Amino acid sequence: QVQLLESDPGLVKPSQTLSLTCTVSGGSIIGRDFAWTWIRRPHGKGLEWMGVVASDGSTHYSPSLESRISISRDMANNRLLLQLSSVTPEDTAVYYCVTAKLNGLAHPEYWGQGTQVTVSS
């Protein structure tokens, strides 16, 4: 079974770049079997889809974030990476790494436990 673990970035100050990693075990980020996604949840609000690395390796981002976001795969370390630049307190949220299996009859989703990101001076 696929397991995902997000890094703990600590406190991030306004205007800085948020960098997160998602360490993957039980599956490979190389290949066409999975899509790799970052999702976040601000306190008291719903889940927000941020972007995805599709099975063909292409990236697709939320229009509200596309000017600031970059998602990529770290092939050597089997990790999914997130960078979000020019952060503000409104970027404070729990951030989740999520993958969905695309092949076969079943299409399970696997979620990391989430990591709290606080943007504050």
Q: What is the pLDDT of residues 59-80, one digit of tens each?
A: 999 999 999 999 999 999 999 9
pLDDT of the residue at 10: 81
Q: Which phi and psi (to 5°) does residue 61 adopt?
A: -125, 155
pLDDT of the residue at 27: 87
β-pairing verdict for 115-119 and 11-12:
parallel
For 13-71, write each residue's pLDDT tens digit: 999 999 999 999 998 888 888 999 999 999 999 999 999 999 899 999 999 999 999 99
Q: How many residues does the chain have?
A: 121
pLDDT of the residue at 107: 86
pLDDT of the residue at 65: 98
pLDDT at 105 over 90: no
pLDDT at 112 over 90: yes
pLDDT of the residue at 75: 93
Instruction: Quote the strand ranges of 7-119, DSSP E.
Output: 11-12, 18-25, 34-41, 48-53, 59-61, 69-74, 79-84, 93-101, 109-111, 115-119
